[in-house]
Structure 1
């Protein structure tokens, strides 16, 4: 059986790439495709076991390394150019266009959906506001995203089975594509984190600094709590803006390597998270250290954080809500051992067993004509 794995793009090592890493652990003979591939060798070794990737024409376009998203209007055509006729099983890892690859009736296509395309659907109006696109350029952006939404729904019919990374995303798949999906939580390498029961006196947050991650909101909240220390890890387009507003009780690390990130997750008194995430791997990693989470109570966190036992959930993305939740957190006692035990249900081994069983069961039925 020849197998292909289609991923949207390779340029960072994030949560979606951890899923690809685990899928590679399940099947070592996958052949890889993506719109672009700009991984460094260390990332390639981890995510793809050093394997090469067949890329689209987007790879060769000017500035594709620094800003591939400017070519969004070309993404559907680019993903459809991959010739996958020789493969029996096609797996896609999709938060954008990977699920839109063309397959024929003798192939089984299973898509692990991290999310329907956020900037075309749920984050559409926020995207237009945050980018402040106006005039003719704004009209063109709206037209392109309108066309993308039409293609996105049409291409969803090319998938035989959807796998969602949370119940939250399963609901979005149903809302957007009118399709059912199997929920298999993504892999979290909980075993690599140490349980630390004596926490230090600082709060911690970590993320790429883009608007929807709400790092600025967290920083503004802690600006109003000068007696509480916040350490922030991550870089991105909003880094300088956030650095300018941060008060002395807030320390910005910038980009932190895995060792530094791990130490802060293990030793923080709480991990603060204000984004509405599809699943949210890093809050689970924090809990694997016995570190409670102060998080926004929508999206995937409702499935990974037990309010009052493994963290505190707040209802609104506001400074006041974060301040109130942090003050409430300090009146509660948390048991690190129980928090870590909760995180273990999201383990990497569990994902690999569940995903393997699901794919192989569906493929056997497909071969027998029982789909």
Structure 2
């Protein structure tokens, strides 16, 4: 039965791409359609199609491309008669409609209704002037077209509630795939480092330290991670990259505790940092939160803010603590409690987020109405 996997756009890294890769393994004969593909090296075993936007400069600016996305998704011309569509959507991919077969059953895996237009307070990209101008119209369109899917799956209960409040639709929860089996099988990820500079980083780590890992953008609140470490008197390590790099480096020079910022680490270095950290602090409001799951798979307790899908990634009091707020004073109390937790079983703590669980559930989800 030929199927079509639909994805907003393909990047080299990202949580959404991890989901798409698992979907590809779940449906190895399915074709893939995206607005544009910035990493053709992925999905070589699938036929990957792009839309007309891929041939324009709009692919370099998602904000400028935004007004063209729904019209593009609504007029997709494909040469194959597909029996089903599975859309991985965090913006408008769920609105896709095929000219050749407009009534094909469409299943949507929703990372979230578009944060750009529904919750711009959680995503600074929604504050762009172009996005603000078109947001009211796109909210109306988005809600109307969300009535089309045969079924909707949410990546967390937090997103399930948002789907109900924005689209007026019910959904089932299927947690995203995390390669927890592979992570937990490696005794020491430091032994897998190939770059000498990364080996030096690991060898210079203090015995006890606080860790923050994410893109260096404002809503991730890495500034709060540093302030939390200072409040409890522990060294702090931040790993990632992004536009906030210089600001975070400047803040690090004024801390009263040792601070190290690791720019653009390899996956192996990220995992080595997680294994050695005393606690991972993850303040932002997220739709899910793969990073806290990865940390637990490597035996490290986590602390998160009180609102968001990331609170569903651990059992409070066992492998992590939910802070009363995302502010440093409360994160510090939670971090102290997390560090004092007993050792936990990493496998049992993260098993429900495994790739095999996701692939089993997503097949059943799409197979409901076959």
TM-score (norm 1): 0.86
Question: How far apart, in 2, do the equivalents of 1:125 and 1:280 lie?
Answer: 18
Question: How far apart, in 1, do the equivalents of 2:90 and 2:6 lie?
Answer: 11
Which residue, 333, 350, 361 being the options, matches 1:354?
361
* 1:261 has 2:267 as partner: no
Q: Secondary structure at the match of 2:57?
A: coil
Which runs of structure 2 are paired with 1:18-97 in the superposition (5 Å)?
18-39=18-39, 41=41, 44=42, 48-62=43-57, 64-65=59-60, 67-84=61-78, 86-97=81-92
Deviates more, 1:293-302 or 1:168-177: 293-302
Task: Give the superposition deviation at 1:224.
Answer: 4.2
* 1:313 has 2:310 as partner: no
Change over 3 Å in CA distance of 1:106–1:125 after alignment to 2: closer
Which residue, 283, 296, 303 being the options, matches 2:292?
283
1:258-317: per-residue Cα shift (whole Å, max 9, x none)? 111111122211111011111111111111111110111221122222111111110212
* Partner of residue 228, structure 2: 221
* Structure 1 unaligned spans of 5+: 365-371
Question: How far apart, in 2, do the equivalents of 1:210 and 1:159 lie?
Answer: 33
* Partner of residue 102, structure 1: 97
Task: Give the superposition deviation at 1:230.
Answer: 1.4
Question: How far apart, in 2, do the equivalents of 1:241 and 1:70 lie?
Answer: 27
* Partner of residue 270, structure 1: 279
Deviates more, 1:90-99 or 1:184-193: 184-193
Structure 2 contact 115–123 (Cα < 8 Å) conserved: no
Change over 3 Å in CA distance of 1:261–1:320 after alignment to 2: same
* Partner of residue 182, structure 2: 192
Question: How far apart, in 1, do the equivalents of 2:183 and 2:276 lie?
Answer: 11
* Partner of residue 295, structure 1: 304
Which residue, 336, 349, 352 being the options, matches 1:342?
349
Task: Give the superposition deviation at 1:106.
Answer: 4.2
Structure 1 contact 101–158 (Cα < 8 Å) conserved: no
Question: How far apart, in 2, do the equivalents of 1:114 and 1:188 lie?
Answer: 14
Deviates more, 1:229-238 or 1:96-105: 96-105
Task: Give the superposition deviation at 1:358.
Answer: 2.2
Change over 3 Å in CA distance of 1:340–1:269 after alignment to 2: farther
Change over 3 Å in CA distance of 1:345–1:81 after alignment to 2: same
Say what the alpha-carbon RMSD is for the aligned residues. 2.3
Structure 1 contact 56–81 (Cα < 8 Å) conserved: no
* 1:115 has 2:109 as partner: no
Structure 2 contact 304–311 (Cα < 8 Å) conserved: no
Question: How far apart, in 1, do the equivalents of 2:140 and 2:279 lie?
Answer: 42
TM-score (norm 2): 0.87
Q: Secondary structure at the match of 2:107?
A: strand
Task: Give the superposition deviation at 1:51.
Answer: 3.7
Question: How far apart, in 2, do the equivalents of 1:169 and 1:141 lie?
Answer: 22
* Structure 2 unaligned spans of 5+: 189-205
